[in-house]
Amino acid sequence: MFKLNFLTLTLLSISALSHAETRGNADIYPESSQAEQTEILPMRTYCDMREASIWIMAKPNSKLEISSNGKTSQITTNGDGIATARLNSLKPNTEYECKIAYSDKKDSPVLVSVKTIPDYEKRSPAPDFKFAIIGRVHTNDPVFDEPFKTPGGEYEIFDAVKKQNPDAVIWANNGAMFRTADYGSLGGMKARYRAERLNPSLKGLLASAPNYAVIGEDSYGAPNSDKNLWNKKDSVNAFKSFWLNPSFGVGSQENLASFFRYGDAEIFLLDDSTMRNNLDYKNSRPEMLGEEQLNWLLSSLKKSKAKFKIVVCNSPITNPVEDKGNFAFYKKERKDLLDFINENKIGGVLFVSAKKDYAEITRMVRAGAHDLVEITVGPATARPAKNATEVNFFRSIGSLVLQRSFATISFEGDENDRQIKIDFFNSKGENLLTQTIKASELYKFE
C-alpha cells in the first residue's frame, strides 16, 4: 500500500507568460504552446531519502488538489500555470502514489508515482542503478526556426529513454534551445521552455523518473554570452521556473550549480554559464566556473566518500581543443581542476557533458594516473553533425556517434567489483555502443 505521512506544497512565484501566434504542420508541436493549457502535466524532479518533489504545469491561476493515501492538499498555479509539490517525511526506498486533479474535476486525476532513494550504507551492498543522459533538444517551430530548415526530429527518442527505466534523467543541455527571437525577453525565454515542455512525446518520460538539468549556452542568452549578459536575471528566472533542482546555487553562491546523490554515487551539477567570463583584458582572465564554484567543486570532490563522483557540465571538461565551447579554452581553471584531482589522488571521477552535435567518449591520458573518462552526449532531437568538427585526440576509438542519440550510465556489480557501463542508443532504442569501466580502474595512481 502506498503511504504518505506528510505533504508540503510550495508555490513558485513567477510572472505571467505571453506567446506569439504560431502556425505549423501536424508534426510541428509548438503551436500547442499558444493554445489554452488544460492538461495537467507533471514532472518528477529531485528525490532524496525522505523527500521528493513534483513540478506541475496546468491552467494558469487554477486550483489543484493533490491526494495520497486519503490525504489531500490544495495548491494554485501561478500566472504561468506552474506550481510545485514537495513531499516530506517519507521513508527511504519507498514508492508513493499521488493523484493530481483540478479542484472542479476530481474524477479525472493524473497519477504520478514517486520513489525515494535507498538508504543502503552500513545496511546492505550498494544497489544497482542507472542514469539517462540527454543532450540537445529541438522541437521544430517554423515561425522562429531559421527559414527553410527543419532542425528537430525523431521525438520518439523520449519513449526510448523511458523504456530504459532510468532511476534519474540528467538533461546535460538543459532541454531547450533559444531561438534569436527568444533570448531578448523573459517572455520569449519562458515561451521557448513552455513550447518544449508541451511536446507530447515528452510527457511520459518527465513523469517516469526524477529529472535534473544543467544550464547551457543554447538556453542562456545570445551566443557567446557570459556572466555579463545584460538580462542574466531573466535567464536565471526562466531556468528556475521550468526546473526544480535540489538547489539553485550551492552554499551561499548565486549561480545554478547543484548536487544530488544516489547509491554509491554523488552527482555535481555545474553551472558553466552564469559565472563564465570571456573577457581577457588587464586583470580580467577567462573563467568558465568562477573561483567560488571551482573551490566548491574541489572541496566537495576531496571530501567525498562516494565510490563514483559524477561531474556534469554542459561544456566538455577533458576535450583538449582550445575552443570557448570546451573547458580547455579556460586554461588556468582547467589546469587547477585537473592538477587538484591528480595531486590529491581523487578516484572514481567521471565527467558528463553535452553541447556537441555528435556524441563521443573521451579518455584523457595522464601521467602517473588512470585515464580521465568523459561521456559527451550528442543531440537528442536537434540535428546531428555529419562529421566531427574537432580533432579530439583523446576520443575513444569507435565512440563517435553521428546520429540522434542518448546515453545511459549503469552502476552495477558486487560491492568489491563495482563497474560503470556506458551505453549509447539511437532514437528507436537500438544500442549503438557499449563500454564498461571497472571502478578499480578509476582508482589507479602511481
Query: Got the DSSP string for 198-218?
Result: T-GGGHHHHTTS-EEE---GG
- For residue 36, the model assigns a pLDDT of 64
- For residue 32, the model assigns a pLDDT of 41
User: For 316-355, b where at least 16 C-beta lie within 10 A, e where not — what string?
Assistant: bbbbbeeebbbbbbbeebbebbbebbeeeebbbbbbbbbb
- For residue 247, the model assigns a pLDDT of 97
**Distance in angstroms (rounded) separating the CA atoms of residues 46 and 304:** 20
How, if at all, do strands 419-426 and 431-438 pair? antiparallel
Length of the chain: 446
Nearest to 410 by CA among 320, 308, 270: 308
pTM more than 0.75: yes
- For residue 26, the model assigns a pLDDT of 32
3.60.21.70, 3.40.50.11540, 3.40.50.2020, 3.40.109.10: CATH of 129-443: 3.60.21.70
Q: Where do the domains of the chain lie?
A: 6-115, 129-443
Kindly report, residue by residue over 85-124, the tens digit of the pLDDT: 999 889 999 999 999 999 998 888 999 999 999 999 999 9
Q: In the CATH hierarchy, which top-level class contains the domain 6-115?
A: mainly beta
Residues of the chain with pLDDT under 70: 1-36, 69
- For residue 281, the model assigns a pLDDT of 86
Cell numbers 566518500 label which residue? 305
φ and ψ at residue 239, rounded to 5 degrees: -60, -45
Grid coordinates standing for 117?
A: 532513494
Task: Decide if 350 contacts 441 (C-beta within 8 A).
Answer: no
CA angle 420, 424, 429 (to 5 degrees): 125
Task: Decide if 328 contacts 321 (C-beta within 8 A).
Answer: yes
